[in-house]
Amino acid sequence: MQPDDIARQLAPKLGDGLLSVEPFPGTAGRVRFRSERALELFRAVRDDLHFGHLSMVGAIDWVDHREVFYVAWSDAATQYLFLSTDVPASAAHVESASSVWPSANWHEREAWEMVDVTFDNHPDLRHLLMPDGYAFHPLLRSFKLHEPEELEVKSRHV
């Protein structure tokens, strides 16, 4: 599956929600899309392109904006597909993929607590790796290492 094929199949469904499909190392291509049309894209990728397996969700803090990326896998094509969308840092939120791929659940929880991207309609958006009530988002560029951090952690279950 080439980037052009993907673009051809996705364009009718997504319209202007699809920004571009470009080559990407190790995968069939990178699909860049508008975050408002996320759910439609996920459905199209799963049902039309048959990428039934969501491997990973993550986010990158580019300081001025944040990028949320998804990696999906298709058993038929034995290929990965890289999806990414940019969200503004001031209103970093995107629709949760967990209604389409249940496996997104934990990955989105991690991305939320690490990079501060909110996933709308997520079934269970709690802290995963950090303790409850942790006020920081460690993978933001503004979170500097080498600075001692003092914090009182309360036990989650008494």
Residues that bind other proteins (CB under 8 A): 24-27, 52-56, 58, 60-61, 69, 71, 75, 78-80, 82, 101-103, 105-107, 114, 127-131, 138-139, 143, 145-146, 156-157
In sequence order, what are the residues at sequence separation of 6 or more whose Cβ sits closer than 8 angstroms to the Cβ of residue 136? 130, 143, 149
The residue (of 27 and 85) whose beta carbon lies closer to other proteins is 27
Q: Which is nearer to other proteins, 16 or 158 (CB)?
A: 158
Please give the Cα distance from 147 to 136 (Å, whole number): 13
For other proteins, which is the closer residue by CB, 4 or 75?
75
Determine the Cα–Cα distance for residues 152 and 131; give it in Å rounded to an integer: 10
Contact 39, 17 (CB under 8 A): no
Least distance in Å: CB of 69 to other proteins? 7
